[in-house]
Amino acid sequence: MRDQSHVRRLARSPAVSGSDSTHRAIEAVWRIESARLIAGLARMVRDVGLAEDLAQDALLTALEKWPESGVPDNPGAWLMATAKRRAIDNLRRNALLDRKHVEVAHDLESRQESGVSALETAIDDDVGDDMLRLIFTSCHPVLSAEARVALTLRLLGGLTTDEIARAFLVPEPTIAQRIVRAKRTLREARVQFEMPRPADRPARLSSVLEVIYLIFNEGYSATAGEDWVRPALCEDALRLGRILAALMPDESEVHGLVALMAIQNSRLAARVGPNGEPILLLDQDRGRWDHVLINHGLAALERAERLADTMGPYALQAAIAACHARAHTADETDWQRIAALYDALASLAPSPVVELNRAVAVGMAFGPAAGLELVDELMSEPSLAHYHLLPSVRGDLLFKLGRVAEARVEFQRAASLTRNARERALLLERAAR
């Protein structure tokens, strides 16, 4: 169980009045514990939809009781205990209980009596990690690829429907419908909450990797809110990636993703200033990068390269990140190699976002005019119509070409599209300059 002292300090802070401080503490606890809570409950009740409902019920109970009683010393265990009681009550109320359900109810009740240490054990498992098991369950072939990713991000990533929609560049109602249908499909298909057999894992691997990567990306560059980075999400994604690598040690792309996340995660401390303001890659103090994580990432990349004749999409992105990690200063960055790696990535896994990143690399390697030419080709791409990084990149290239008035318009447009407060402030500052 993670340390909750910072949550308790927030709840008791005199700077924030009574119920407001408790509600903020509850929100913080939910962000941290919801994935583990849902995963632990899913293992017990064997139904991910019911597990999420039970977790939400426990959250509502906390909203009712904690403003009066205060935040418990171990809020995660309190939520688990409350959810377990709801699970037992739910099973007992069901007139059609079969023997298996009765056994589950008795098992839950016996666990309930074993105290906080058992509750923590119920959340933290060994290599058959509940969270990873839930990812594979959510990525069951009975679901569409889009539904698998959306459901897993919702259950394990702690992301709201809106945040998932932003990550996918699709309307929020579309994501909401995918999640509802996915939970119903899993229930109707009676999908078991278990790790697939080794022979079945590769079929689900691509969706699992995409899920973990999107969780990481939301932590590395938050789509909304007051914080530009959410380190807890990055740590959870990296942890899941490492567990997956232990379970599937011969899969090159698993190690490629671990390498990518480790190298990117090494920059987190340098990505924000003392007041939480964003610091862009070329302006970062590289002395603040975590070189232990970089070394771990480079080792994982080397393993990924050994396991495959050609690099996959995640290994290619890790190789791009490695180019930055190996450069002691921004000026030493090998942009021509990065551009070549993006060429390979665009051929292997084409997407508008990859093309936009390729344009950045080309602009750095061969001049802003070359980059702008590629960006202008993306201006009519429908999926990028509301993607704030498109005008942001275009503004940067225009500024380098001395077309300042046009650059200002692009930065202002980018600021109007982003929903992250820190990023909006940065873009407006660039527009003002």
- Decide which of 215 and 24 is more confident: 215
Say whether pLDDT at 139 is over 90. Answer: no
Residues 118 and 75: beta-carbon distance below 8 Å: no
Note the pLDDT tens digit of each residue in 21-43.
Answer: 777 777 777 767 787 888 888 88
Give residue 115's pLDDT band: very low, low, confident or very high (50, 70, 90). Answer: very low
The CA-atom distances, in angstroms, between 263 and each of 167, 257, 258 are 21, 10, 9
Mean pLDDT of 362-378: 98
Q: What is the DSSP string of 194-240?
A: SPPPGGGHHHHHHHHHHHHHHHHHHHHS-SEES-S--HHHHHHHHHH
Q: Which residue has the higher pLDDT, 33 or 10?
A: 33
Neighbours of 185 (CB within 10 A): 17
Share the mean pLDDT of the chain.
85
Confidence of residue 154 (pLDDT cuts 50, 70, 90): confident
- Per-residue pLDDT tens digits for 371-424: 999 999 999 999 999 999 999 999 999 999 999 999 999 999 999 999 889 999
pLDDT score of 4: 40
DSSP state of 309: S
pLDDT digits 0-9 by tens, 325-350: 999 999 999 999 999 999 999 999 99
pLDDT digits (tens, 9 = 90+) for 270-322: 999 998 899 999 999 999 999 999 999 999 999 999 999 999 999 999 999 99
Reading the block at residue 357, the tokens are 């990143």
Residue type at 183? K
Three-state SS annotation for 72-126: CCCHHHHHHHHHHHHHHHHHHHCCCCCHHHHHHHHHHHHHHCCCHHHHHHHHCCC
Q: What percent of the chain has pLDDT over 90?
A: 48
Structural fold of domain 351-433: 1.25.40
Specify the pLDDT at position 107: 61
Cβ-proximal residues to 83 (8 Å cutoff; 6+ apart), any chain: 37, 41, 54, 55, 57, 58
**Every domain of the chain and the residues it spans:** 1-124, 351-433
Per-residue pLDDT, averaged over 69-84, amounts to 86
The three-state secondary structure class of 274 is coil
- Contact criterion met (CB below 8 Å) for 216 and 234: yes
Q: Bridge partners of 45?
A: none
